[in-house]
Chain A
Amino acid sequence: MLKKENRISFEDGFYSSANLQTIMGETYFKDILFLDYRDSEAGSNPREYTGLKKANNEIIRSLLKDPIQMFRFLHSGMIVSLTGLRITGNVIEFESCCLTNGNQTRFIILILVLLKLYAEKNDLTQLTPTLFNQFVKDEFKDDVEVSEFLKFVKPSKAKEIAKFLISNRKYLDNFNAISLNKFLHCKIRIQINVIENVIEGVDDLDEYSAGTLIAKANNETQNVKEDDIFGSTYKMDLEQSIFSDFIGNYGNEVKIEYRMGEIVTREPKVHILTLLRPIISTGILTRENEIFAYSNQRAPVYTLFQKLLRTKNGKAQSTIKAISKLVPFLYQIREDHVVNRLKVLRSAKDRELKAKALSNELSHTTLSGKLKIVSGEPTEDSLKALRKVTSYNIEHILPVFIYRIRSIIDYDEQHQKIFLNVETGKDETLFQSLLEAIYTNYVEIKLKGVTGSITDEIRSKDFFGSGEEAFIVLKNLLKFNQSDYIEKNRYIISK
């Protein structure tokens, strides 16, 4: 019954502009269910389905109130960018599509359709994400295209809508009253941007960029994360330049997520911000004091890389090449040496603080008054307070760690590889000592208490001084050679 067909039909005909750049009309729900919205030739929409938040809650209410007659007049409709159009009568077929506006509505309609199918044989009140997942797998096992698309429908979001229905009797009655076939034939307004015709005569704008530009503009007033806009807009540029070595090194082992949540499978993935942030800490793009200010930031980091990508001069290009080599190297440092070591350090710190709590040795800290020992054991609330102090955000610690070791990051011309100028074996001592110094300072700051937020504190020069003494001692003890690799490749991007 449900198929992904790359066609939109208009029962009552459609309006088309003379230059065939715009087409408008009313189409069936069944035709919008599987419209692509990401990473197609026709562009990429930066916004994923966000669940029943305020606006979406209004959409589902107006949809279920009267899907047949009124909904299409209460909704602004959908906008799609299409390429490769073939028009036959009242039917438009296309090669690629990017749903640039109305993606939230589409997902709500799609989930309702799936729930109607589910409810035909199952009890909706008993729906769990696992059951939904299994249902989708079984129902569409023979349709690869639909199955692939339905990976974007998170079971938790389906459960959310089922829960909404169950707790709103009026809407549940309407949902039950309408047949699936009738629901699929409800109509919605749709506006089509025919991308090939839109970009005709416009320099430097290909189909993908035009579609993405439209999607970005359509979502400008929405609460779209900077991550998603930057990731969608610069995906191709990033792949070809800044992430080219990472992709070369990791291939399909670790996939890059350009938009939060876009990779729904369990395969290893890394978000663009995780790869870009450590670069800032090396100081290759900024002045010294800006390194601190950029720590754990999002928007300014994207702005910085956006400016770099737009700069076409030779020096900037050579810096981009150096950054491309740094990206996999710093990612490897993070994964192999920082992530687990911090877990071990935290575990030890948990024990240390609990031991101090048992001996009443934390009375001079922010924990004073929050700890209560009953019959030789800290209460559950006390343990929570302790864990809050030892908890950490790796994005707070890693920048300082990279900042500290940046002077020994070097490049081996012969093997064309970045390396750390420390003898193998001794690097473990370096990682352990530095991370311990930085993490200990981090916990100390929390124990002392901060006037503002911890985020302000981790952007301070003082915090970036963590581990400095340890580094000097280690430098003399382990005899590392300083390197000028970062210095040589520095390209300062002005604010």
Chain B
Amino acid sequence: MIRSNIERNHLEFEKKIEEILNYASNLVHGIPLYRRVQTSEKTLLLESLILRTCALGESFLENELVICAYSDQSKIKGVMNILQRGKLPKDLIRALIFSDRYRDLHDIQRIKSVFKRFTSDSFNPTSKISSTQTTKITFIYSMRNYLSHYSIFSRRALQERLIKNYQVIKFIEPGKFLLSNNGERFNDLISHFKFASINMRNYWR
């Protein structure tokens, strides 16, 4: 039951990511013919897809965290000082993790530490996320932050990542960056969400 819940959470997430990737790929390549859009619209749409992907990623990780903490409750009971012997319901687990304060699941290192705090070692698949996936997803989040706030701070953070990861010195708006090279950058970045999920899924095999 637990395994099938985990599997379903992953497959649903991977399917949604694949839909986004396919949609973007068709959009960039002008398919279908009658729905061709201008470059300026393409950049807008790709930027929106970044926000959507991040939202899906957070929702997926939130579910994963709850399922893992629910499956082996020893860690969370210890952390929360809960002495009750019986199994806690899943909704209560969710409430315990997320209701005391806002826990954002943006940064991979942070995600790993949240998982470590609430799940036992044998129920923590985040160790399977590769360093490349970590780098790419971290970059996506710096883009997402910029697109959500357009603040000077978020712009500077994105600029630093652009230099560090892509040696792009001059600031480039996310949509334009994602569209370059026939949308290959978008494809490369977003597909790492899917591959991270696959690696995590393989943890259970």
Which residues of A are in contact with B by a Cβ distance under 8 Å? 336-337, 340-341, 343-344, 347-348, 351, 354-355, 358-359, 375-377, 424-425, 428
Contacts and interface: CB of A to CB of B under 8 A. Distances in A.
B86 interface: no
B194 A355 contact: yes
Nearest to B35: A428
What is the interface of chain B mostly: helix, strand, loop, or mixed?
helix
A348 B198 contact: no
A376 to B, nearest CB: 3
Contact of A344 (B26, B129, B194): B26
Interface string B49-93: 000000000000000000000000000000000000000000000
A425 B33 CA distance: 9
Given A355-B198, A376-B128, A343 B29 contact: yes
B169 interface: no
B167 interface: no
Contacts of A337: 33
**Which bucket holds chain B's interface residue count?**
20 to 34
Contacts of A343: 25, 29, 182
A343 B199 CA distance: 26
A348 B130 CA distance: 21
A242 B195 CA distance: 50
Contacts, number: 59
Contact of B31 (A344, A354, A359): A344
Interface of B: 14, 18, 21-22, 25-26, 29-34, 128-133, 182, 187, 191, 194-195, 198-199, 201-202, 205
B195 A354 contact: yes
B130 A377 contact: yes
30 contacts: A337-B33, A340-B29, A340-B31, A341-B31, A343-B182, A344-B22, A344-B25, A344-B26, A348-B18, A351-B18, A351-B187, A351-B191, A351-B194, A354-B191, A355-B14, A355-B194, A355-B195, A355-B198, A358-B195, A358-B198, A358-B199, A359-B198, A359-B201, A359-B205, A375-B131, A376-B130, A376-B132, A376-B133, A424-B34, A428-B34
Most buried by B among A337, A347, A375, A377: A347
B199 to A, nearest CB: 5
Contacts of B18: 348, 351
Most buried by B among A376, A377, A428: A376
Contacts of B129: 376
A345 to B, nearest CB: 9
A329 to B, nearest CB: 15
Nearest to B128: A376
B198 A375 contact: no
B22 A340 contact: no
Nearest to A336: B33
Contacts of A354: 191, 195
B130 A375 contact: yes
B33 A344 contact: no
B202 A359 contact: yes
Nearest to A356: B198
B38 to A, nearest CB: 16
Contacts of A424: 34
A460 B154 CA distance: 57
Nearest to B129: A376
